[in-house]
Amino acid sequence: MTTGKPLRADAQRNRAALIAKAREVFDAGEFFDLRFDDFAALAGVGTGTLYRHFPTREALAEAVYHEEILTLRDHARELQATLPAAEALSAFLRAMVEHIHTHHGLARTLSTLMAASTNGLTEGSQALENAVADLVATAAREGAVRADIDPGAVMMALHGIGAAHDRPNWRTEADHLITLVVDGFRPAGEKP
């Protein structure tokens, strides 16, 4: 897809329909059972429209990934705008665990499809890390968390949680780990 000029309204709708249908299929873990052309019919568009927007499976996966990242980033900003800083950070981390739990099929499909596409993953990861960095920086400025918290370390914790999703008691362990992380954010001497 060319990115030079804005899409017409109908092209935007078609692109959004393709991304929404792909997200649904990825989440259900059915992506590999379909031919790439099948996405056109599932989204109610022509095959030419599919290839005009997304010439490959990887291009479609990258678009879904970017939509997910934007949704998560926007959620972080919403929490930051509506909650005290420490609560916003904690709520975001817990929301990430819920998102991983609810959309594990999506995460697994995207990571498989985009394994060779480090550029797309790097850009998306950076956007999400920037949102986490904003949450951390605001909480640190307010004295609600330690000033030495590295957003990259927070991202590593989230990635580790996601990577361990196949463990039998994953959800309980993930929630417990987030509690440990949040407790670790507190300034020295402050009790949970």
Structural contact between residues 100 and 47, judged by C-beta atoms closer than 8 angstroms: no
State the average pLDDT for the chain: 86
Q: Are 96 and 69 in contact (CB under 8 A)?
A: no
Number of structural domains the chain divides into: 2
In a domain, 137, yes or no: yes
Which residues are CB-neighbours of 32 under 8 A, at least 6 positions away? Answer: 109
pLDDT digits (tens, 9 = 90+) for 165-185: 888 999 999 999 999 999 999
Q: What is the pLDDT of residues 95-133, one digit of tens each?
A: 999 988 888 777 777 666 656 655 656 666 788 889 999
- 71 and 19 share a domain? no
The answer to whether residues 35 and 97 belong to one domain is no
For residue 28, what are the domain limits? 1-55
Which CATH number goes with the domain that contains 133? 1.10.357.10
Please tell me whether residues 49 and 85 are part of one structural domain. Answer: no
Task: Decide which of 15, 37, 55 is a domain's last residue.
Answer: 55
Looking at residue 83, the DSSP 8-state letter turns out to be S
Residues 75 and 135 in one domain: yes
Please state, in angstroms and rounded to a whole number, the distance separating the CA atoms of residues 151 and 163: 18
Q: What is the pLDDT of residue 117?
A: 59
